[in-house]
Amino acid sequence: MSSSSQHLTNYAAFTRPETGITQIGHLDAKAGTIQPLSLLSGYPIKDLYQVIEAGPSQIVASGSALPLPSVKILAPLVGRDVLAVGKNYMEHAKEFNASGYDSSDKVDKPSHPVIFTKRATSIIADGEDIYLHPKFSKSVDYEGEIGVIVGKVGFRIPKGKAMDYVWGYTIINDMTARERQRDHKQFYIGKSADTFCPMGPVAVPKEALPSVLRVQTHVNGELRQDATTDDLIFDIPTLINTLSEGQTLLPGDVIATGTPAGVGIGRSPPLFLKEGDEITVTIPGIGALHNRVTAVKERLASQSVFNLDNAARSLNGTAGLTMINGKPLHYKRLGLEDKSSVVFVHGLGDTSEYFSPLIANLELQKKASVHLFDFEGHGLSPTHPLSVLSVDSLAEDLAGVFSHAGISESNPGTLIASSFGCLIALRFVLYNPRLVNKLVLLFPPSLPLSEHTRQEWKKRGELVRTLGMGAVVDDIISEGTTRQTRSTEHVAMSAVRLSLLGQDPESFAKACDAFAKVDRDFPLESLNVKTLLISGGGDDICSHGYRGRIRGARDEFKKDLGRWAVFENVKAVSALLTEFGL
């Protein structure tokens, strides 16, 4: 272990309120701080499973320590049921057998380890409340325990090698509804109620702890339980051997090793927990697990099995995004707020950054209020797997951008769109004709989209889903840029390639599907907005469904421009927009 990481052994999971992202840090209870940890590569450690796999030599401090009040401490391990052991301290086995709540084997000392599980949904962190569940139980009891954390995969592990499979330890309070444990003649239901598995506050590797651990439980300051691992009926190697005889143990599995004598049912009469009771379970070297008992409370926080696509760049959709139309989108405003608004819509495989050279060349930030965004799934904007993209949905998002920008019928804006983004812009203008006073369409696709075009983009989406963006980049570049650009404008070609390769494959495929579904023409004849159409190369789009259909539209054909015109020749595009009055 490196000298810089020797003291970083109190591993705690936490979230920062501003991001909600789970991270691992070293908790210093005395100093009241938590030190975020990362791998040597700089990668922030997300959970204890990563700590276990990486090993201590890969773990270092990252940034400054944070004050504990500024973060939320989580249980060190979540997401899996806890493997648990009953009647594993002799004196507790006796008190349990005599209590009348033991419906298992009627002997004080079990012949084999009594194994059960606690449901993962019962796990809570240090400082969280334990709920009494009065409609579920009238006999809620505590059980302070030592939690063993498995460090590597094991099957049929011999006792003699079992400790090699132990990574470390944590603290567990095996809360129990005693009458449920008795009446159901098994332990699972009575021990798996929501909040019935407080765990933490930290997990500590075995190398940082003594070989014999002591567990103590205090209720309202009164010592109730006190024992060590030397008092176990079945020691830790026996438990690991038993559990792995027919099943595989995984790194991060937690084994609650049983509770000592001193629980509530061991008293005469039994003394059960009540609202307001404070329970503290301590293990020297690990710390203290504090929880308070409260009245029942609903725990209906939903957990989705879906994760946002294209979210890594925005820290899982938490950083640098704006809620627009109920979606987290990357949006930014440039220029002067009191000037007329200009909104940009990028195309397929592109981002809002595509327009940066154009904005700079026109010096728009000095004379307009500029609004840029990445449409759903592109650039920095994530997309949810359940979200179905369509031109209509993207047009609704554009409406949200207009609303967020404060553009109104009394103060309409200019709308500039590129490539397939033109379909979004057209749909929006057709629905909201009074919000736009100028419309610029850079290389809009032919209307209506041909069956061949729609099938080609559908196939590209399928190809990207299986082989990634690299499988389609060359074809898109070949058909979207001029021969002159490909042979002489190497910086422009690199910009196009980087834009495409920077897209999230699944999100790009969703957008391909959305545009491939456009099987109808647009009623362009109903548009009554000052419009500039720009096309070039070998694709005179104005003769493919546009010419003469938009009243008063001005069309410009530049043979040296392709569909990535801003990258290919920003000065030529700027000149056309300047002539248009922008």
**Dihedral pair phi/psi, residue 216, rounded to 5°:** -130, 145
User: So what's the pLDDT on residue 344?
Assistant: 99
**379 vs 52: CA distance, rounded Å:** 34
SS3 346: coil
Radius of gyration (Cα) for the chain, nearest Å? 32
Residue 545's pLDDT band (cuts 50, 70, 90): confident
Q: Tell me which fold the domain 322-449+521-579 belongs to.
A: Rossmann fold (3.40.50)
CB 416 within 8 A of CB 429: no
The stretch 460-466 carries a mean pLDDT of 96
- The answer, yes or no, to whether residue 541 has pLDDT greater than 60, is no
pLDDT given for residue 333 in this prediction:
97
Strands across the sheet containing 278-283: 129-131, 287-294, 278-283, 214-219, 222-228
| CA–CA gap between residue 6 and residue 512 (Å, rounded) | 51
Residue ranges of the domains in the chain?
A: 11-74, 82-294, 322-449+521-579
> How many angstroms from the chain centroid is the CA of residue 242?
36
Residue 240 pLDDT exceeds 70: yes
Of 2-6, 110-114, 131-135, 562-566, minimum mean pLDDT range = 2-6
> 467-472 long-range CB contacts below 8 Å, 24 or more apart?
468/505, 469/500, 469/501, 469/503, 469/505, 469/508, 470/501, 472/500
What is the spatial distance between Cα 32 and Cα 287, in angstroms, rounded to a whole number?
13
Residue 3 has pLDDT above 50, yes or no: no
Q: What is the pLDDT of residues 340-380, one digit of tens each?
A: 999 999 999 999 999 999 999 999 999 999 999 999 999 99
414-423: per-residue pLDDT in tens?
999 999 999 9
For residues 44 and 24, what is the distance between their CA atoms, to the nearest angstrom?
8
pLDDT band at 103 (very low <50, low <70, confident <90, very high): low
Tell me the pLDDT band of 536, cut-offs 50, 70 and 90. Answer: confident
pLDDT at 15: 95
What is the predicted pLDDT for the residue at 184?
85
The pLDDT, as a whole number, for residue 538 is: 52
Give the pLDDT band of residue 2 (cuts 50, 70, 90): very low
Q: What is the pLDDT of residue 479?
A: 86
Mean pLDDT of 150-178: 98
C-alpha span between 234 and 249 (Å, rounded): 18
Measured CA to CA, the distance from residue 574 to residue 425 in angstroms comes to: 20
Query: What pLDDT sits at residue 4?
Result: 47
Q: Which residue has the tokens 């032919």?
A: 446
User: In this predicted model, which residue has the larger pLDDT, 299 or 445?
Assistant: 445
pLDDT tens for 382-440 read 999 999 999 999 999 999 999 999 999 999 999 999 999 999 999 999 999 999 999 99
CA distance 426 to 573: 20
Task: Using alpha carbons, select from 282, 264, 332 the residue that is nearest to residue 99.
Answer: 264
* Positive or negative: CA dihedral 188, 193, 198, 199: positive
Residue 178 has pLDDT above 90, yes or no: yes
Assess if CATH 3.90.850.10 describes domain 82-294: yes
Structure letter (DSSP) for residue 383:
B
Cβ contacts of residue 244 below 8 Å, gap of 6+?
154, 155, 156, 157
Question: pTM for this one?
Answer: 0.81
Cα separation, 510 vs 512, in Å, equals 5
Handedness of CA 292, 293, 295, 301 (dihedral sign): positive
pLDDT above 90 coverage of the chain, percent: 82
Paired tokens of 97: 């057998």
**Token pair in block for residue 475:** 């074809």
Q: What is the Cα–Cα distance from 415 to 371, expressed in whole angstroms?
A: 10
**Alpha carbon of 273 to those of 197, 292, 372: distances in Å?**
15, 10, 58
Name the DSSP letter for residue 43: P
Amino acid 579: pLDDT: 95
Q: What is the reported pLDDT for 299?
A: 63
The pLDDT of residue 91: 86
Answer whether the bond into residue 269 is a cis peptide, omega within 30°: yes
As a whole number, mean pLDDT of residues 8-30 equals: 92
User: Can you give the pLDDT at residue 482?
Assistant: 87
Predicted confidence at residue 164, as pLDDT, reads 98
Q: Which pLDDT belongs to residue 303?
A: 66
- The pLDDT tens digits for 38-92 are 999 999 999 999 999 999 999 999 999 999 999 999 999 999 999 999 999 998 8
